């Protein structure tokens, strides 16, 4: 039998990045017949705490990445038990580093966190030409596009992507968030982006806000 304490313990172990405890707890909960979706819910709650601790500067990127690894391993264990249950995606997000830039650290951390929070992500990779952004939005119907760049020389390409979406008649159906060390809220406004994410957690909060997910901080 399981009770609330077990669920809380799993969330806490996830938040404290106790990989061994998360692994043991999942084994026990599955053995006790707890619905896999409930376990995923507990893990996601733990990830919320990880995000909060990151924003409070208790955790750094290293902890975010480690949390992602623990979560992914946990999901690999839970997934075969899902049977007919459907862990519905909270929404689709298209992500990519714009043409002229091959930096992908920030983008990859946003993707990892988005996936941990239940979003489906189409990762276009790095050095992405504007046409691929347009095609991905066209084909996926995603409501959110995330663009990243580190180099100052690549920043103008973000505006070109927005123009290309406009030209393709897609601008009204997609919201655009930008991020990267040299980007800023001011720059985002200048080029017509809808959101600027200062860090990966803000990126996830933007996605939650847009897809009306509860618990947006």
Partner 1 sequence: MTSSERLDAVISGTVPDRVPLAPLLDHWAAIHSGISVYDLMTDPDKRIRAILKTASDFKWDMTFLADTANETLLRIGVAARLKMPGVDLPANCAHQFEETGFMQVSDYALLETQGVVPFFLAIVGRIYPEMTMERALADLARVTEEIKEHGRLLRQSGIEPAVGFVIPGCSFEYFSLARGISEGLLDLRRHPETMRKAGKRYCADMLAMAISAIVQNGIQRVFVGLSRSSPVFVSTKHFETIILPEIEYIVNGFVNAGITPVLHCDTDWTKFLPYFQKFPAGKCILELDGFTDIKAAKEILGKRMAIMGDVPSTLTANGTKDEVLDYCRNLIKTVGVGGGFILSTGCSIPVNAKEENILALTEAVEEWGWYQ
3-state secondary structure of 9: helix
In angstroms, give the least distance from the CB of 152 to partner 1. Answer: 4
In angstroms, give the least distance from the CB of 112 to partner 1. Answer: 9
Chain residues binding partner 1 by CB under 8 A are 57, 59-63, 65-66, 69, 100-103, 105, 108, 151-153, 155, 181-182, 184, 187
Please provide residue 186's backbone torsions phi and psi, each rounded to the nearest 5 degrees. -60, -45
Find out whether 165 and 174 touch, Cβ atoms under 8 Å: yes
Cβ nearer to partner 1, comparing 38 with 63: 63
Find out whether 197 and 206 touch, Cβ atoms under 8 Å: yes
Find out whether 177 and 146 touch, Cβ atoms under 8 Å: yes
Cβ nearer to partner 1, comparing 57 with 172: 57
Cβ nearer to partner 1, comparing 92 with 121: 121
In angstroms, give the least distance from the CB of 36 to partner 1. Answer: 26
Interatomic CA distance for residues 22 and 204, integer angstroms = 23
Sign, Cα dihedral of 167, 196, 154, 92: negative
In angstroms, give the least distance from the CB of 188 to partner 1. Answer: 13
Cβ nearer to partner 1, comparing 17 with 29: 17
For residue 79 the two structure tokens come to 């997934």
For residue 31 the two structure tokens come to 């053995």
Cβ nearer to partner 1, comparing 33 with 62: 62
H helix or E strand, kind and range, residue 96: strand 92-97
In angstroms, give the least distance from the CB of 196 to partner 1. Answer: 13
């Amino acid at each position: 039998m399981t009770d609330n304490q077990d669920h809380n313990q799993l969330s806490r172990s996830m938040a404290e990045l106790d990989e061994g405890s998360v692994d043991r707890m999942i084994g026990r909960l599955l053995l006790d017949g707890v619905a896999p979706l409930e376990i995923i819910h507990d893990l996601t709650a733990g990830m919320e705490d990880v995000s909060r601790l990151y924003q409070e500067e208790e955790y750094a990127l290293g902890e975010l990445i480690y949390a992602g690894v623990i979560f992914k391993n946990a999901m690999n264990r839970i997934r075969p038990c899902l049977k007919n249950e459907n862990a519905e995606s909270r929404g689709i997000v298209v992500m990519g580093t714009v043409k002229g830039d091959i930096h992908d650290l920030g983008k990859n951390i946003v993707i990892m966190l988005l996936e941990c929070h239940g979003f489906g992500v189409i990762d276009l990779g790095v050095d992405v030409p504007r046409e691929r952004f347009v095609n991905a939005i066209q084909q996926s119907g995603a409501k959110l596009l995330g663009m990243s760049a580190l180099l100052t020389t690549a920043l103008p390409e973000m505006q070109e992507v927005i123009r290309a979406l406009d030209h393709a008649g897609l601008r009204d159906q997609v919201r655009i968030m930008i991020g990267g060390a040299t980007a800023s809220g001011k720059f985002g406004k200048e080029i017509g982006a809808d959101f600027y994410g200062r860090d990966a957690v803000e990126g996830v909060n933007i996605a939650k806000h847009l897809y009306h997910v509860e618990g947006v901080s």
